[in-house]
Amino acid sequence: MRPAPVLRLLSLCVAALGTAAHAQDRLVQVPTRGSESISYWWMPKDGATATVLLFSGGGGGIGYRDGQPQSNNFLIRSRELFRGENLNVALVGNPSDKRQMDDAWRTSAAHAADVTAILASVQQQAAQPVWLVGTSRGTVSAAALGIALQAQLAGVVLTASITSFRQPAAVPQQAIDRIRLPVLVYHHQQDACPITQSHETDWILRKLTAAPVKRQMLVTGGANPSGDPCEALHWHGFIGMEAQVAKDIAAWMRNPQP
């Protein structure tokens, strides 16, 4: 057989294996709060060491269309990188009665009830410990849920956190002194969004008085930021350094250190 057909055959085999490996990826819908429901995109990983629930920013959600998550949000677009770090991945969608989540919802008992339903569903499929990972306004959710649901969790990761005291539900405004879990605060030093300034992450660390392990990582790197500095394709969204961020977070989760 000539070399070109051999290479083509190998490429087809690799593609087929990749498709088979992701055949279990799917949108899961679970009932919550009476007649309402909430969905999540499930990405299992053979031999996973942990499961991460990823909370996007803005109004939340995963941008689901055409059978796939389509959001440009840092966590949603980086989902395969997190799975590549030996993690099961669940992308948290929005509930049927709240298509755009605001901060009041993210800190509500209803939101905690919805995520409790997701946790129960995820744990039926994978027994690994569960970490919450939020980015931007997703950190409002991750912090509030880290307080409310900590008995069910292994830890919390906050990336590009809402830090400004002008925001009533900003991470340091919440009762995070009640979190008794490992917490990683991960932030780009050049984040230019007015409500997510890197130097203000100090307030989060100061208030995490009950966390058995806490760590602040202020990073640089990436390339080609564009658009609004509060959006996903700027330093705020770790543009151009997604693989490094996923690797850093996964490594710390495996061995939380101050």
Give the bridge partners for 157, in sequence order: 133, 184
Contact 129, 87 (CB under 8 A): no
Q: Which two tokens stand for residue 91?
A: 């992308």
Two structure tokens written together for 150? 């900590």
Task: Count Cβ atoms below 10 Å from residue 120 Cβ, excluding itself.
Answer: 12
Write down the domain spans for the chain: 25-254
CA distance 107 to 93: 16
Provide the whole-model pTM.
0.91
Rounded to whole angstroms, the Cα distance separating 237 from 49 reads 26
Per-residue model confidence as pLDDT tens for the chain (258 residues): 444 454 455 445 434 444 445 779 999 999 999 999 999 999 999 999 999 999 999 999 999 999 999 999 999 999 999 999 999 999 999 999 999 999 999 999 999 999 999 999 999 999 999 999 999 999 999 999 999 999 999 999 999 999 999 999 999 999 999 999 999 999 999 999 999 999 999 999 999 999 999 999 999 999 999 999 999 999 999 999 999 999 999 999 999 999
Q: Which fold, 25-254?
A: Rossmann fold (3.40.50)
